[in-house]
Structure 1
Amino acid sequence: MPRRLTLKPGQRQVVRFKLLPNKLLPAKQREYKARLYIETIEAYNSVTGNVTDKGVIQTVLRIKKKVGLPIRVLKGNLKYQCSIEYDQNNKIILIKNTGLKTLRGSLLIVGKKGNQENSLVSLSYFAADRIKKISLNELLKDNQFYDEYDIVVKTSDSTRDEQPNRLICSKNIKVK
């Protein structure tokens, strides 16, 4: 059975997903979208393993675009504060929650017109034990500590589905 991607502090995960076309638009104006639902634990004691009301974790999402794939990130309905940063080449997008609350909600990844259908984009999750500055360079230093999974963006055909487009994974998630 597919399961949701859930992160605890210290866990890292890479997923690859497809941008699905919005076929309601004409071909020349067509956009490719994926809505990502993000949820983190508000506070977590790494010693006892208990969720506490003290402290906060920082969630970093790193989106690595393929060459020539222009995409933009919208905050969607993400609650609380979050920041979106781009690197100099506009290929890596870094999203951090800067507030003191649980980061929960969705991000909308939108590919601009002219993208090839089903373009692959990779997304890295990182949840830190404590609030600390993680620079883009630090995040890019080590590319070998992730396990990769093919995931599917599930789209809803019915209004009965309360959580459409949720990221699901067909494999058990193992985090180093």
Structure 2
Amino acid sequence: MIKNQILIVMGVSGCGKSTIGKMLAHTLGVPFYDGDDYHSEKNVEKMSQGHPLNDDDRKSWLQTLNRLAKDNLNEGTVICCSALKERYRALLNHSIEQQMIFVYLDGTYEEIFERMQKRKDHFMPPGLLKSQFDTLEPPIDAIRVSIAKQPKEITSEILSILNKK
């Protein structure tokens, strides 16, 4: 990986962003940030009640994550964020496009719904997964990895691709 790189591990809720992001950050020796920790209380409340976020709800959250990425340009970092639409990714990488790499964790609705039903203590209910898939605009310019493998295999695949960049 190139020094000062910002990795955004992205995909719908339940695809494994936090697990893979933490593993990548640990291996690379860079800080890890879970984008969910930066949602406003209002956004968390809305999702907890089973209501999907809209573009306006997400805008300030994405701008906050962009500032977080900029704050970590000197050392690099891994940030997990759904980044479901192209315009969301544009907000995330605003003015740091050359230093940001998106890693898309790709899975089917069925795979991810099954995972989400097993999660405990997460504000995102499985019922909102469909709205995430409806919103998703799969990235064209990203490292795309299937979630069908084990986390260690997924992390190794991502690292292998990064080492070739």
* Pairwise same-fold verdict (TM > 0.5): no
Which range, TM-score by smaller chain?
under 0.3
Q: Please identify the structure whose Cα radius of gyration is greater.
A: 1
TM-score (structure 1 length as normaliser): 0.27
TM-score (structure 2 length as normaliser): 0.28
